[in-house]
Amino acid sequence: MLYVSYMHVRWIGGVPLRMSKAGFAFKVILVGDPAVGKTAIINRHVSSSFKENYIPSLGTNITSKDYDIDSRYVTLIIWDIAAQERFDNVRSKYYTGAKAAIIVYDVTRPATFDNVTFWFEDLKRFVMENLQMTLIANKIDLPAKVDSEAGKKLASKIGAKFIETSAKTGENVERLFQKLTRDLLGAVLGSSQEKE
């Protein structure tokens, strides 16, 4: 896969300021408890960087990245939604138009795994139509207190794919976004081919 370019866009309110040059653009949202590693996963993916210190996100950060998949240009617009964003009406606006959702938990903190159901129900209230779901077990470089089997089982229960990642080492982070992008493109091309 060839990465054409990437850029960061800080979101203040409203809509992203940049239109995609790509053929397809998909909105992807990341949700999950505080400090599970949502921002770290995105930073690892778009800038191959990792910071040890924790700075809680405020509001929402939007990052976009362009891909060339089999000569088709695709932009992912990735919304990193602060876990502290507690106002329902605000969160529902963040969710609007999403084509994929990534729910992240931290394998070292079982409470973040227990709260996956909350995030799933929250998404379901606002945007479930055609939403591709992925459940991420993050921080697998550390000793886990939630085992893989429990993660797989929950993913299957909520109809999500399951991937174990480390934003610190980068393990499986590229795989996550490549798979997501291909699946989103496949869904669009599949449905447009069906219409032809």
Binding site for ligand GTP (CB under 6 A): 32, 34-40, 51-54, 56-57, 82-83, 138-139, 141-142, 166-168
Of 89, 103, 85, the closest CA to residue 29 belongs to 103
Residue 34 or 110 with smaller CB distance to ligand GTP: 34
Please choose, from the candidates 58, 65, 57, the residue with its C-alpha nearest in 3D space to the C-alpha of residue 28: 65
Q: How far is the CB of 157 from ligand GTP (least distance, A)?
A: 22
Shortest distance in whole angstroms from residue 169 CB to ligand GTP: 7
Find the shortest distance in angstroms from Cβ 9 to ligand GTP.
Answer: 17
* 3-class DSSP assignment, residue 122: helix
Handedness of CA 134, 85, 27, 47 (dihedral sign): negative
Q: Quote the least distance from Cβ 25 to ligand GTP, whole Å.
A: 23
- Asked if residue 172 lies in contact with residue 75, where contact means CB atoms within 8 angstroms, the answer is no
Cβ neighbourhood burial of 136 (10 Å; 0-12, 13-18, 19+): buried
Smallest gap from Cβ 89 to ligand GTP, in A, equals 19
The residue number with the shortest CB distance to ligand GTP is: 37
* CA 162 – CA 76 distance, rounded (Å): 19
Complex with ligand GTP: residue 15 or 58, whichever CB lies closer: 58
**Between 82 and 116, CB nearer to ligand GTP:** 82
Tokens of 121: 């129900």
Q: Which residues pair with 21 in a beta bridge?
A: none
Q: Which is nearer to ligand GTP, 53 or 71 (CB)?
A: 53
